[in-house]
Amino acid sequence: MKITAVEAIPFAIPYTKPLKFASGEVHAAEHVLVRVHTDDGIVGVAEAPPRPFTYGETQTGIVAVIEQIFAPALIGLTLTEREVAHHRLARTVGNPTAKAAVDMAMWDAFGHTVGLPVSDLLGGYTDRMRVSHMLGFDDPAKMVAEAERMHDAYGITTFKVKVGRRPVSLDTAVVRALRERFGDAVELYVDGNRGWSPSESLRAMREMSDLGLLFAEELCPADDVFGRRWLVGQLDIPFIADESVPTPADVTREVLGGSATAISIKTARTGFTGSARVHHLAEGLGLEVVMGNQIDGQIGTACAIAFGTAYERTARYAGELSNFLDMSDDLLTMPLQISDGQLHRRPGAGLGIAIDPDKLARYRTDL
């Protein structure tokens, strides 16, 4: 169970449909495959998605921090020394997705070593989750058509609508068009990626007050400290903190400060070890949680479903588990399948996934 090597392999897979949102846009999955090797010949995998507009990480930076700092700090530890690994990774500030991928690859390797699924090792609550699909910026007719496609092809009935454009009516028109098209047959919520000011956010939420929204996520920046507290205090639905809460301490700060009332858990940024800490904190504080999406590929989505199915609280709402459908290809030998609006966690040890060597050879960008 001793770690002998940690690899960081950059790869690039184009999106068939780019995702656009208030803080940026993504046209290709330029991610980093992380592989943790042990002296038993076990290999654990995970992926890190660089999101410079969210965490400041780049693909080159993720490879460098893993190769230069994390790998030397972890080689020689056993897979059960997770707390030691966590503290060694924490000596480096920032780099959330690089740390998370290393952590999750260690868990995958541990699952393979003991012959058990990661989801069972974490909590083993259920084997499936309902799926929520993120709809990126476009005009109302195209966003409705995209929702129809996801509804008809995959049975998806929950949509997170990206908002945060100016004027706010650009986005409120989309949400209204979706509600008019689907009626009560779908759940809708909105994510502003910090695009609006607090007052624009309140105006938009008032315009949409008859549309039965489930949540509002990160409509304005957490750094608008009083403005955001003012906004959250006036809403009658939970306000989800996402990129403003990359650590448990941030969750505490935002929630106790009145700037958030629900939490997005993203395994891409807190791994399994950190996500468990956020989950337990949310349980202790009595907060609702949603399993979020860092525009994950299929490896990242396998991680999110493994964690989301482990606990009752994370499996309660639809999880954001479908945006890999917009990628032109992926690295797994067996693709994830969404049907009837649900994704099952993979059976089998670890994450239950295997990397296709031919696909990795085609898409890696370091050789």
Q: 103 or 217: whose CB is closer to ligand MUC?
A: 217
- Residues 204-233, one symbol each (x = binds Mg ion by CB under 5 A, - = not), give -------------x----------------
Residue type, 195: G
Of 200, 218, 224, 242, the catalytic one is 242
- Residues 227-266, one symbol each (x = binds ligand MUC by CB under 6 A, - = not), give ---------------x------------------------
* Residue 23 beta carbon to ligand MUC: minimum distance, rounded to whole angstroms: 6
Told to judge if 99 belongs to the known catalytic residues of this protein, a careful annotator would answer no
From the list 28, 33, 25, 39, the residue with the least C-alpha distance to 66 is: 33
* Residue 292 beta carbon to ligand MUC: minimum distance, rounded to whole angstroms: 5
Contacts to ligand MUC from residues 12-71, by CB under 6 A = 21, 23, 51, 54
200 binds Mg ion, rule: CB under 5 A: no
**Interaction partner, residue 21 (Mg ion, ligand MUC, none; CB < 5-8 Å by kind):** ligand MUC
Told to judge if 337 belongs to the known catalytic residues of this protein, a careful annotator would answer no
- CA gyration radius for the chain? 20
171 binds ligand MUC, rule: CB under 6 A: no
Contact assessment for residue 109 and residue 82, using Cβ atoms and an 8 Å cutoff: no
**Which range touches ligand MUC (CB under 6 A), out of 57-65, 138-146, 203-211, 286-294?**
286-294
* Residue 255 beta carbon to ligand MUC: minimum distance, rounded to whole angstroms: 18
298 binds ligand MUC, rule: CB under 6 A: no
292 binds ligand MUC, rule: CB under 6 A: yes
293 binds ligand MUC, rule: CB under 6 A: yes
Tokens read off for 281:
């904190």
Told to judge if 242 belongs to the known catalytic residues of this protein, a careful annotator would answer yes
From the list 93, 39, 106, 95, the residue with the least C-alpha distance to 303 is: 106
Q: 23 or 342: whose CB is closer to ligand MUC?
A: 23
Residue nearest to Mg ion (CB): 242
From the list 191, 190, 182, the residue with the least C-alpha distance to 147 is: 182
57 binds Mg ion, rule: CB under 5 A: no
254 binds Mg ion, rule: CB under 5 A: no
Distance of alpha carbon 105 from alpha carbon 113, whole angstroms: 12
Of 47, 266, 298, 330, the catalytic one is 266
Catalytically active residues are 162, 191, 217, 242, 266, 294
Contact residues: ligand MUC, CB under 6 A: 21, 23, 51, 54, 191, 193, 242, 292-295
Interface residues toward Mg ion, by CB under 5 A: 191, 217, 242
